[in-house]
Amino acid sequence: MSNVKDLLGLELEPYSMAVEKGKIKELAIAIGDDNPIYYSLEAAKEAGYDGIPVPLTFLQVIEYHGGYGFQEKMEVLKLNPVKILHGEQEYEYLGDIYAGDELHVTSKIIRADTKIGSSGGMDIVTEETRFTNQKGELVAIAKITIIHRH
């Protein structure tokens, strides 16, 4: 593998993806989250929302379905898929996201370094993804940290 440090600053191909209510419901069912705000517009409105809101981890649906799939992402980052672990994940919410919104997504690698520990070496790669809605408002920032064991 080439030097992981070369990934620092790499910008991935931007894309856009609609927030679909069917995908919100599908994710909530998969998690087993029965909060009615994710299933019904009436329930969401009753709870004070302008539309059906997204579960806190929904943006991963936008990322995998709208952007690179798992295997493709690993190829772009030149990481061996069987040697990677999901180390950390963060979502910061700056605005509301509802079913029907269109999100524009940009992302880049903000950390790429190697650590040598007692169990051998590992690369640590952090990707920051920014989500902007159809009104041009930055509504969320996601950070994923991947551990790649040597």
The reply to whether 61 sits near another protein by the rule CB under 8 A is yes
Whole-number Cα distances in Å, 86 to 10, 35, 65: 19, 27, 18
Contacts (Cβ under 8 Å, ≥6 apart) of 119? none
3-state secondary structure at position 117: strand
Residue ranges with strand state E in 10-137: 11-18, 84-93, 102-117, 120-132
Backbone angles phi, psi at 65, to 5 degrees: -85, -30
Smallest distance, another protein to C-beta of residue 38, A: 9
The reply to whether 43 sits near another protein by the rule CB under 8 A is no
Burial class from Cβ neighbours inside 10 Å (0-12, 13-18, 19+) for residue 62 reads buried
Q: Binding string to another protein for residues 106 to 125, with x set by CB under 8 A, is what? A: --------------------
Window contacting another protein (CB under 8 A); options: 8-16, 85-93, 109-117, 122-130: 85-93
Smallest distance, another protein to C-beta of residue 68, A: 10
Nearer to another protein, 87 or 100 (CB): 87
The reply to whether 32 sits near another protein by the rule CB under 8 A is yes
The residue from 2, 9, 11, 86 that contacts another protein (CB under 8 A) is: 86
Nearer to another protein, 96 or 128 (CB): 96
- Using CB under 8 A as the binding criterion, the count of chain residues that bind another protein stands at 37
